[in-house]
Amino acid sequence: MKAPVPNTLNALFPPLSRPPPDKPLPIDPSERPAICQEEYVHNFAFGSNMGPEKVKARAGGIEFVSAEPGLVRDYRLAFNLGGVPPIEPVMAGIEPEQGSVIHGTLIKLPRAQYEKLYKSEGGGAGKKRAYLEEEVTVETYSGKQVQAVAFRTAPRIALPRHLEVPASKRYLDLLVEGAKAIGLDKDYVRRLEELPRAPPANGIEKWISRSFAMFFFFWAVRQLPGMSAVYFVKLVAFFVYHYREVCRQSTSPALQLLAYPLLFIMLLIMLPGSFIGVGIRLARTCSSYVDKGWKRIKVVVPEREAKELK
């Protein structure tokens, strides 16, 4: 009997894209729409999941039955889920607004695949999840009306409208690509293309924010101790980023100058977390090399044993 291969650091540092373990969501069923309990669940995607290929690539592979364009009335596209500035300042959600219309993709999934999709959007965090499930009525371009679930930013963390800032070019490009891929209304696609983009992060601010993002999502996915403090740090960094953008876009020379110290303060706030993020990245890199070494040993040793037996 072969001795088991020792666990490597991958047990502690799995890829961040890996979905949480296959277990029920830690959410009271009474807090979820009834349609989430059906054999097939319809999800209305309005953000980066509008493109069918993007959905397939999520969480190690999502399998769905069908995808078609549709719209929801009396809701608007909101950028009210704070991200990690400046690389990803905000992400999309939906908010009720009388008279507004939001277009997107109606995706039909087996219930197990829908659960997997929701986990990839933070549903596994239970009461601390970033998105809540909102039941909406989708009008498909083919004329059907379907009850579906859309992901709405949880009110406890949703940014007020006056604090919403432009999303990154990368994120908005995903929306435009997905909208074109599924064949959304051309006027709506043009509106997405015309949305303002956040200024790109360069140099040290890009390095610090990327490393902080590694740290933040590592902690958030696993809901490790001190998560409230980590959220608080990210929230403070976002508010500083918001006012830095207000100053940067101001016509007042004095306020434009103030944008520089605000940038310094924001980076200083994220710096401790970014160092932890660098450590996580290094540990994962080391674990990858350890795994490759073990795989090499598992191949070479049996070959030597076979030669000795001969």
- DSSP designation for 223: T
- DSSP designation for 156: T
- Average pLDDT value over all residues in the chain: 85
Binding site per annotation, positions for substrate: 171
Report CA torsion sign: 274, 276, 278, 280. negative
Binding site per annotation, positions: 171
Inside any domain, residue 4: no
Inside any domain, residue 130: yes
Q: In total, how many domains does the chain have?
A: 1
Residue 260 amino acid letter: Y
Separation between Cα atoms, residue 232 and residue 2, nearest integer Å:
48
Tell me, what's the pLDDT at 233? Answer: 92
Inside any domain, residue 2: no
Q: Which DSSP string corresponds to 2-33?
A: PPPPPP-GGGTS--TTSPPPSS--SS-GGGS-
Inside any domain, residue 3: no
- Read off the pLDDT of residues 123-143 as tens digits, 9 standing for 90 and up: 766 777 889 999 999 999 999
Tell me, what's the pLDDT at 11? Answer: 42
Would you please indicate which residues are annotated as catalytic (active-site) residues? 121
Inside any domain, residue 179: yes
Tell me, what's the pLDDT at 30? Answer: 77
Enclosing domain of residue 63: 9-303+305-309
Inside any domain, residue 264: yes
Tell me, what's the pLDDT at 16? Answer: 43
Inside any domain, residue 89: yes
Separation between Cα atoms, residue 171 and residue 213, nearest integer Å:
15
- Is the separation of the CB atoms in 295 and 262 below 8 Å? no
What is the CATH classification number for the domain harbouring 224? Answer: 3.10.490.10
Give the pairing of strands 88-110 and 66-84. antiparallel
Task: Enumerate residue ranges in the chain where pLDDT < 70.
Answer: 1-26, 59, 124-125, 290-310
Inside any domain, residue 57: yes
